[in-house]
Amino acid sequence: MDPLVSTAWLEAELGAPDLRVIDATAFLPGDPRDARAEYEAAHIPGAVRFDIEEIADTESPLPHMLPGAHKFASRMQSLGLGDGNRFVVYDNSPLHTSARVWWMLKVFGVHFAAILDGGMPKWMAEGRPFEIGRDLHRHGHFTAALDREGVADKGFVLGLIGQGTHEIVDARPASRFAGEGGEPRPGLASGHIPGAKSLPQTEFFNADNTWKSREELRALFERAGVDFGKPMVTSCGSGVTAAVPLFAAYLLRKHDVRLYDGSWSEWGADPDLPKAVGA
């Protein structure tokens, strides 16, 4: 299964016994939109709602950090998601949160996972079928094994500064990267990780919410000064939109990419960590 599937492909596959569809919609703190209410008002037939705030390490002071393997497996099972399934993830969020859930699936060992190109906006604009109400499903059996090579922590990122061995790609808006204006979460410094390159997640998408072509994606990285010959770490505000450049790199067959799960929510809150400002 291609990691990026079309709306036409998904509609034709609906009802396949091994296919599971996941609604990964989530929003920034303070956004008046309600992901649960929107899911219940309209979702792709058979889709289950994946709540990144709850399927997380809820004991961590940082937002939606990866849960442990046991909790992830338990939540996947409760959603009726199991081993051997093919997963298609979509969202209806300006944060393109399907990329975060796709990454979570991959780091916990899922082999067949894809993102729906264009997400819910394209699906609805094309008049494709949808359901209302809550999800109904049977219990599944899911085995989770965390691939730690896909995750970066604070210590790992700190060790990269000044070494020139990796590229650090920041998916936040350019103004936040430059340290202009405040962060949406309180208590965070402004700026970016020293040596990071700015590549806002919004630049990866066309006006109709579809992903840009692979040629355009490669050009984005090149214009940002990212050396594809080096391993990459992606970062953002809280580890969600960092999955966008990671997925784009995956589409370009680059797999030596880690996501910094704590991202600026962790880095910007620690006064002892180095910070840079400016473009």
Q: Domains of the chain, with CATH numbers?
A: 4-146 (3.40.250.10), 149-267 (3.40.250.10)
For range 237-262, the mean pLDDT: 98
Per-residue model confidence (pLDDT) at position 107: 98
Per-residue model confidence (pLDDT) at position 5: 98
| Ramachandran category for residue 224: left, alpha or beta (phi over 0 → left; psi -120 to 50 → alpha) | alpha
* Residue of higher predicted confidence among 155 and 137: 155
Closest CA to 21 of 151, 128, 144, 125: 128
Rounded mean pLDDT of the chain?
A: 96
* Residue of higher predicted confidence among 183 and 46: 46
Per-residue model confidence (pLDDT) at position 121: 98
Strands, sheet with 4-5, edge to edge from the N-terminal-most edge strand? 4-5, 113-116, 86-90, 19-23, 48-49
Per-residue model confidence (pLDDT) at position 139: 81
Per-residue model confidence (pLDDT) at position 72: 97
Distance from the Cα of residue 97 to its chain's centroid: 5
Instruction: Say what angle helices 243-251 and 98-107 make with each other, to 10 degrees.
Output: 70
Distance from the Cα of residue 168 to its chain's centroid: 16
Residue 234 parent element (H or E): strand 232-235
* Residue 243 φ/ψ, nearest 5 degrees: -75, -15
**pTM here?**
0.96
Q: How far apart are CA 157 and CA 179, in angstroms?
A: 19
List the catalytic residues: 236
Per-residue model confidence (pLDDT) at position 116: 98
Q: Which residues contact 146 (CB under 8 A, 6 or more apart)?
A: 66, 68, 69, 107, 108, 109
pLDDT(204) > 90: yes
What pLDDT band is residue 53 in, cutting at 50, 70 and 90? Answer: very high
Per-residue model confidence (pLDDT) at position 30: 84
Per-residue model confidence (pLDDT) at position 222: 98
pLDDT(138) > 80: no
What pLDDT band is residue 41 in, cutting at 50, 70 and 90? Answer: very high
pLDDT(135) > 80: no
Decide if 223 contacts 212 (C-beta within 8 A): no
For range 75-98, the mean pLDDT: 96
pLDDT(187) > 90: no
Return the number of other C-beta atoms located less than 10 Å from residue 178's C-beta: 17
Per-residue model confidence (pLDDT) at position 183: 83
